[in-house]
């Protein structure tokens, strides 16, 4: 499409929000008309704050069979309510993929996890919303052919956008022709432009600790990290998800707590990222050339952390490991320049790929 209209469909999944918002803003910047169907609340505020037209629906906030059926119908209705040249759908919403397919417009599956090692496997996060039986019942009602496996829904789309590097995903053999690896889509600093971390550089390198924005029982892990780095020759900054109460944490003298900060404003100051292995956080750290110590909590995070380690930019430890081992890993990763060189090498690859432009151009070519 040249200048066209795009419908984006999303949900409140934590790490899925920022990369799709980056694509929405890039499409708008290029002159396309963008509108979003998604859940009410924080996600709506993020898009509306960026000036993107947004319609909230409770169906995008719930994963019951009834809500999924409703979401499929709402997506199809929204396609026909206003001119729509393409629907970009978060792939973890299988009902929305089906609704867009039934509406007869080109469908883009937005994959914000690893593709070959996550999205198309039998353990794909796409199963979080439904199973094949429920989706095939829905597809039958929409007049669509059944699928054998839920990940097969991606084969029915015109385009699959994967927000990581192919070299990190390491697919075996050729990927399907509709798959495009576009690299991490990292939000610009925005209102956090010019942010400066607490403390002085003379007090040591900055270690940024982040365990994501959705609840995963991470308070105990954050406390373990704070305890492990108490008195270490580093400055520690812990960013907290909105669901956490920082008053419950014991914070040593060389550490500070912060609310949400955009990665692009925070990570350029960092010598090291200690994180949960979320692909968005890993992608942002690599885009800034920052090495990592990953403490994967669950979901797709162990695979993401292993992918970061595979390019030489990260060490991976269990989140419940011994504090002394964690402290040693942080200090060794900071001291061993091989980790930073690997991260900078990946950062150069990400910069050359120019993910927002590559993703938008792929959509435009449909």
CA 78: distance to chain centroid? Answer: 25
| pLDDT number for residue 26 | 98
| pLDDT number for residue 281 | 96
Least-confidence region, from 54-58, 101-105, 129-133, 302-306: 129-133
pLDDT digits (tens, 9 = 90+) for 289-328: 999 999 999 888 999 999 999 999 999 999 999 999 999 9
Q: pLDDT exceeding 70 applies to what percent of the chain?
A: 99
> How much is the average pLDDT of 90-112?
97
CATH number at residue 234: 3.40.50.2000
**Residue 180 is inside which H or E element, if any?**
strand 179-181
> How much is the average pLDDT of 41-59?
96
User: For residue 70, is pLDDT > 90?
Assistant: yes
Whether residues 131 and 215 fall in one domain? no
User: Considering the domain boundaries, does residue 360 fall inside one?
Assistant: no
pLDDT digits (tens, 9 = 90+) for 167-199: 999 999 899 999 999 999 999 999 999 999 887
CB contact set of 25 (below 8 Å; sequence gap of 6+): 50, 52, 356
Which one of 121, 154, 181 terminates a domain?
Answer: 181
Whether residues 267 and 159 fall in one domain? no
CA 157: distance to chain centroid? Answer: 20
The DSSP 8-state label assigned to residue 19 in this structure reads H
User: For residue 2, is pLDDT > 70?
Assistant: no
Using alpha carbons, list the distances in angstroms from residue 324 to 124, 181, 224, 229, 318: 35, 38, 10, 9, 13
State which residues form the domain around 102: 5-181
Q: pLDDT exceeding 90 applies to what percent of the chain?
A: 85
User: For residue 123, is pLDDT > 70?
Assistant: yes
Which one of 155, 181, 207 terminates a domain?
Answer: 181
Total domains in the chain come to: 2
Main-chain phi, psi angles of 153, to 5 degrees:
-60, -30
Whether residues 72 and 125 fall in one domain? yes
Q: Band of the pLDDT at 236, cuts 50, 70, 90?
A: very high
Whether residues 61 and 199 fall in one domain? no
User: For residue 4, is pLDDT > 70?
Assistant: yes
pLDDT digits (tens, 9 = 90+) for 12-40: 988 899 999 999 999 999 999 999 999 99
Which one of 181, 214, 235 terminates a domain?
Answer: 181
User: Considering the domain boundaries, does residue 366 fall inside one?
Assistant: no
Whether residues 153 and 25 fall in one domain? yes
| Tokens encoding 3 | 């200048």
Q: Which of 208, 265, 268 is nearest to 234 (CA)?
A: 208
Whether residues 36 and 111 fall in one domain? yes
Cα(19)–Cα(111) distance, rounded to whole angstroms? 10
Whether residues 117 and 208 fall in one domain? no
| Tokens encoding 241 | 């998800």
pLDDT digits (tens, 9 = 90+) for 209-226: 999 877 777 899 999 999
What's the chain's average pLDDT?
Answer: 94
| pLDDT number for residue 3 | 61
105 contacts 79 by C-beta, under 8 angstroms:
yes
pTM of the predicted model, to two decimals? 0.95
- DSSP H helical ranges for 267-336: 279-287, 301-310, 323-335
């Amino acid at each position: 499409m040249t200048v066209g209209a795009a419908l984006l469909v999303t949900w409140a999944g934590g790490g899925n929000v920022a990369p799709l918002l980056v694509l929405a803003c890039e499409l708008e910047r290029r002159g396309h008309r963008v509108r979003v169907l998604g859940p009410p609340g924080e996600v709506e505020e993020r898009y509306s704050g960026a000036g993107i037209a947004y319609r909230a629906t409770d169906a995008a906030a719930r994963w019951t069979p009834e809500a999924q059926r409703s979401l499929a119908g709402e997506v199809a209705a929204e396609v026909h309510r206003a001119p729509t040249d393409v629907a970009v759908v978060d792939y973890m919403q299988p009902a929305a993929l089906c609704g867009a397919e039934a509406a007869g417009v080109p469908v883009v599956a937005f994959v914000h996890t690893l593709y070959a090692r996550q999205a198309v496997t039998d353990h794909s996060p796409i199963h979080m919303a439904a199973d094949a039986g429920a989706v095939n019942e829905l597809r039958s009602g929409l007049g669509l052919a059944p699928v054998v496996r839920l990940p097969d829904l991606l084969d029915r789309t015109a385009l699959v956008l994967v927000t990581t590097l192919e070299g990190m995903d390491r697919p075996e053999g050729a990927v399907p022709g509709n798959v495009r690896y576009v690299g991490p889509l990292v939000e610009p600093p925005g209102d956090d432009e010019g942010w400066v971390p607490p403390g002085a550089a003379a007090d040591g390198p900055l270690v940024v600790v982040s365990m994501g924005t959705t609840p995963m029982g991470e308070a105990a892990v954050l406390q373990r990290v704070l305890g492990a780095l108490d008195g270490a020759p580093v400055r520690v900054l812990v960013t907290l998800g909105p669901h956490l109460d920082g008053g419950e944490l014991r914070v040593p003298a060389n550490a500070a707590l912060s609310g949400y900060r955009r990665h692009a404003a925070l990570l350029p100051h960092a010598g090291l990222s200690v994180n949960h292995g979320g692909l968005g956080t890993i992608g942002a750290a690599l885009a800034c050339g920052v090495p990592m110590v990953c403490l994967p909590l669950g979901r797709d995070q162990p695979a993401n952390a292993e992918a970061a380690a595979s390019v030489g930019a990260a060490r991976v430890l269990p989140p419940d490991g011994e504090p002394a081992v964690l402290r040693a890993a942080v200090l060794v990763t900071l001291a061993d320049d091989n980790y930073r060189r690997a991260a900078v090498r990946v950062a150069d690859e990400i910069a050359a790929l120019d993910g927002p432009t590559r993703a938008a151009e792929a959509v435009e070519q449909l």
